Amino acid sequence: MSRPIVIKNASLYGDTPATLLIEDGVITTVAQDAASIATPDDAVVIEAEGLVALPGLVDLHTHLREPGREDAETIETGSRAAARGGWTAVHAMANTNPVADTAGVVEQVYSRGQEIGLVDVFPVGAVTVGLKGEHLSEMGAMANSKARVRLFSDDGVCVYDPVIMRRALEYVKAFDGAVVQHAQDLRLTEGSQMHEGVVSAELGLAGWPAVAEESIVARDALLAEHVGSRVHVQHLSTAGSVEIIRWAKARGINVTAEATPHHLLLTDESARTYDPLFKVNPPLRTQSDVDALRAAVADGTIDIIATDHAPHASEDKDCEWAAASFGMLGLETALGVIQKVLVDTGAATWRDVARLMSETPARIGMVDDRHGRPLAAGEPANVTLVDPNATWTVDAAQLASRARNTPYGGIELPGRAVATFLRGVPTHLDTQLEGAFA
């Protein structure tokens, strides 16, 4: 049984300072006056003045690569990276080897996450067998497994066949699940390397048109409306996609959407370096797209922030652009990027960050009985402490991930998670807090 923990004078959601008492994995007391709490004799006391307390972050879009590509990431290294980034739960994508398209594979991933114990790992099941887009996977068996899968995605590829997509949307209704779509028209993006526009033309790289994303977003919103089901759209990247989501919500369609930190900060201008660290799917877009995404996050059109943490082995990135894999790291830098582009600009508050990165993703993933809970007495002690005044320079070699493919190397970011607690157990402590637990 872990020792009681007193977090003194933390700023809850960036608002009123308060003190939390954590006992046996539960927040038992929240008080504005620290002196009113009877501190147990064996308690660990954290002086948290100046720190922001948030519910533990929940990532709806993480690639952990295990089983099959442990040279890029493992559930253990990915969990450690997540804990250092302030996350207490991650949803692991299905594009592993073997693919997570059976109850056996998702139970393996779930059990391994529980064994490691740094974050809760919730497997996302594949929509189709082998991600091939031809036959539905064993969705019912995965939903009824001990992993209790509720999200299904072929992420990395699009569920392209509209008949298959319709059947998947119909099927998940039986257990109130959701189909999570990687919106990409495969024909329109064949051979594409970056966003189609002025920069791609100047660089001579095959362009990836915005309509390739937008057409699938529109199709799937209409399919979800037609069958009365739930669809979640991953990594929106274009202003047009934002308008389609806004239209769909106004129409009453049960659709949610996410944006990634990198699509909220970086643009296709980064490709001028020909550095494959900036090669990602969907591609980095224009500044006007970035501005539209930020506005959509601020007004609630985009529901959540998700990392799309995509680690790759060095040989898959340390090569010429055309041969390089798509994807970039995100778990350890997400909070800093979001503070930089949303909080420090006044577009969002820390309470908004709690909604975007904890409460709403937990609800979409149907784990809101355990995660994304209020910082209140009687709730699970999944807590992240953030130092909003810290600044740090990203060093790929110092990241916990096994991979090194961060696009932020050498960039100074504000804010950092200094402590992460999963059910009252510290899974990450900054050096300034380690002494309290010695």
Q: What is the pLDDT of residues 291-308, one digit of tens each?
A: 999 999 999 999 999 999
DSSP letter (8 states) at residue 267:
-
Structure tokens at 231: 């669809």
pTM exceeds 0.95: yes
pLDDT per residue as tens, the chain (438 positions): 579 999 999 999 999 999 999 999 999 999 998 888 888 889 999 999 999 999 999 999 999 999 999 999 999 999 999 999 999 999 999 999 999 999 999 999 999 999 999 999 999 999 999 999 999 999 999 999 999 999 999 999 999 999 999 999 999 999 999 999 999 999 999 999 999 999 999 999 999 999 999 999 999 999 999 999 999 999 999 999 999 999 999 999 999 999 999 999 999 999 999 999 999 999 999 999 999 999 999 999 999 999 999 999 999 999 999 999 999 999 999 999 999 999 999 999 999 999 999 999 999 999 999 999 999 999 999 999 999 999 999 999 999 999 999 999 999 999 999 999 999 999 999 988 887 787
Q: Is 281 annotated as a binding residue?
A: yes
Give domain status of residue 135, yes or no.
yes
Instruction: Give the model's pLDDT for residue 189.
Output: 98
Whichever domain contains 113, its CATH number is 3.20.20.140
Kindly report the number of other CB atoms within 10 A of residue 20's CB atom: 28
Residues 6+ apart with CB under 8 A from 65: 72, 73, 74, 78, 96, 311
Same domain for 125 and 16, yes or no, is: no
Instruction: Tell me if 152 is assigned to a ligand binding site.
Output: no
In this structure, the strands spanning 57-62 and 87-92 are: parallel
Residue 306: how many other CB atoms lie within 10 Å? 28
Residue pLDDT, tens place only, 248-285: 999 999 999 999 999 999 999 999 999 999 999 999 99
CATH of the domain at 29: 2.30.40.10
Distance CA 154, CA 175 (A): 19
Do residue 88 and residue 224 come from a single domain? Answer: yes
Whether residue 354 sits in one domain with residue 214: yes
Say if residue 38 is in the same domain as residue 181. no
**Residue 64 labelled as part of a binding site:** yes
How many other β-carbons are positioned within 10 Å of the β-carbon of residue 347?
Answer: 16
> How many structural domains does the chain have?
2
**Annotated binding residue 437:** no
What CA–CA distances, in Å, run from 349 to 54, 97, 297, 345?
12, 40, 12, 10
84 part of a folded domain = yes
Distance of alpha carbon 354 from alpha carbon 374, whole angstroms: 9
326 is in an annotated binding site: yes
Would residue 401 count as lying in a domain?
no
Is 254 within any annotated ligand binding site? no
Provide the residue range defining the domain that includes 16: 5-53+378-390+411-437
Do 218 and 327 belong together in one domain? yes
For residue 373, which of 386, 358, 352 has the smallest C-alpha distance? 358
Cβ atoms of residues 298 and 347 within 8 Å: yes
Q: Which of 307, 330, 365 is the last residue of a domain?
A: 365
Shared domain for 146 and 256, answered yes or no, is yes
Shared domain check, 85 and 10: no
**Do 203 and 183 fall into the same domain?**
yes
Q: What would the two tokens of residue 71 be?
A: 């040279």
Task: Tell me which of 59, 120, 303, 308 is the catalytic residue.
Answer: 308
430 is catalytic: no
209 occurs within a structural domain = yes
User: Is residue 353 a part of any domain in this protein?
Assistant: yes
Q: Are residues 348 and 294 in the same domain?
A: yes
For the sheet containing 255-259, what is the strand order?
Answer: 151-152, 178-181, 231-233, 255-259, 304-305
**320 in a domain, yes or no?**
yes
Residue-level pLDDT at 1: 56
The reply to whether 259 falls in a domain is yes
Q: How far, in Å, CA of 151 to CA of 362, rounded?
A: 12
Q: Would residue 162 count as lying in a domain?
A: yes
Domain identity same for 350 and 226: yes
pLDDT of residue 110: 98
317 and 347 in a single domain? The answer is yes
Both 115 and 262 in one domain: the answer is yes
Contacts of residue 88, Cβ cutoff 8 Å, sequence gap at least 6: 56, 57, 58, 119, 120, 371, 382, 384, 420, 421, 422, 427
Half-sphere exposure of 118 (CA within 13 A, CB side): 22
Q: Is 195 annotated as a binding residue?
A: no
